[in-house]
Structure 1
Amino acid sequence: MLAAGGSTRLGRPKQLLQYKGKTLLQHAVETAVDTGIHPIIVVTGCNSELIAGQINKMPVDIVINEKWQDGMASSIVCGLNFLLSGYPLPDGVIFMMSDQPFVSAALIKSLLVTQQQTGKAMAASSYKNSTGVPALFHKAFFPQLLRLSGDAGARTILQPYSSEVATVSFAKGNIDIDTAEDYEKLLQSE
């Protein structure tokens, strides 16, 4: 789970915004825990102590991306390196963000099932004529993920290899919280 960004457009840590009595990060971590998939690695960076304090009693590994200012790719690389150094080689990895409040455990599980059923190397969420996170990557794509740099995210691998991507519909996948206006809209939808 990527939760390292500085929330510059919002002006405060979006991971800590309250939604339905919990922070966005707590919602995301609970969703990941509910899938039964392990391990769960949360990559923090900016405001790492504050953010880790919200989830330090949850069954997750917390890793600090010291290079979070280099962009999203540095968090992907940091989290994947942590996974590969601390656990037996997994068959794949699922990336999700802490600012997509409508991700469900069922969606995450459907990525896994869809990837297994189709035999494709990747399974990604489909929304607003786009594919993106949450997304699952087979271990065959670990080298490409580890070479990402800058603000490049998972989409930079999904697009050129689209024939290797199975999709799962995620109707509210385009809703993420980047600005105060996004947050207000979320609160009004409760």
Structure 2
Amino acid sequence: SSRMGGPNKLLALFDGKPLVRRTAERALGSKASGTIVVTGHQRERVRAALAGLDVTFADNPDFAEGLSTSLKAGIAYLPEGCAGVMIVLGDMPDITSDDLDRLIDTFRKAGGNAVVRASHDGKRGNPVLLPRSLFPAIAHLEGDTGARHLVEAEGFDVIDVEIGAAASVDVDTREALEDAGGVLQD
């Protein structure tokens, strides 16, 4: 994030562990059938922080062009028959495996046909689960744009799952990272 102003926030330590590793371990500890990590800025350092974990890496050489390129890079690595994808941001330190499981369970109960997103006090947040039927539209996204406007424009059923403050805590600034208990590394 350019708002961090220097060190890579994904390598900040939380309880002695890089944030990106903590997030990946929580995804691996969930009911998700696999974990794809999209790398861009300092990809070799991020890969090193994830050494030994059973994740698939999707390199995004166009990361500087914005969020849409990361979405497309990750979706390109999905297995043919998957029903959907859960987008878990690497900078949300309070998301737990149980939070992810609640989203997955809700997605399955909806038959894989709804967008399922985490919420806090009725406000949309992250992570979000997107059904396969949305993938073709994602392929046309450009710039620093996520799938939010697609979800709203396409009229998909959206199910919000209240997971508490974790849905809205991200660490896009040095102050937010430190307030969440992180320690930046060089």
Q: Same fold (TM over 0.5)?
A: yes
Matching residue's letter, 2:180: L
- 1:51-62 pair list within 5 angstroms: 51-62=46-57
Task: Verify: 1:109 aligned to 2:101, yes or no.
Answer: yes
Aligned residue pairs total 179
In structure 2, the residue matched to 1:177 is 171
Name which of 42, 45, 50 aligns with 2:40. Answer: 45
Task: Verify: 1:125 aligned to 2:105, yes or no.
Answer: no
- Could you tell me which runs of 5 or more consecutive residues in structure 1 were left unpaired when the two chains were aligned: 1-6
Dislocated runs of 4+, deviation >6 Å: none
- 1:1-190 pair list within 5 angstroms: 7-10=1-4, 11-83=6-78, 87-119=79-111, 120-127=113-120, 129-161=122-154, 164-172=157-165, 173-187=167-181
- Could you tell me which runs of 5 or more consecutive residues in structure 2 were left unpaired when the two chains were aligned: none
- 74-83 or 159-168, which moves further after superposition? 159-168
Paired residues of 2:28 and 2:34 also in contact (CA < 8 A): no
Q: CA RMSD in A?
A: 1.7
Which structure has the higher relative contact order (CA within 8 Å, separation 6+)? Answer: 2
CA distance in structure 2 between the aligned counterparts of 1:128 and 1:98, rounded to whole angstroms:
22
Q: Percent identity?
A: 27
SS at match of 2:77: helix
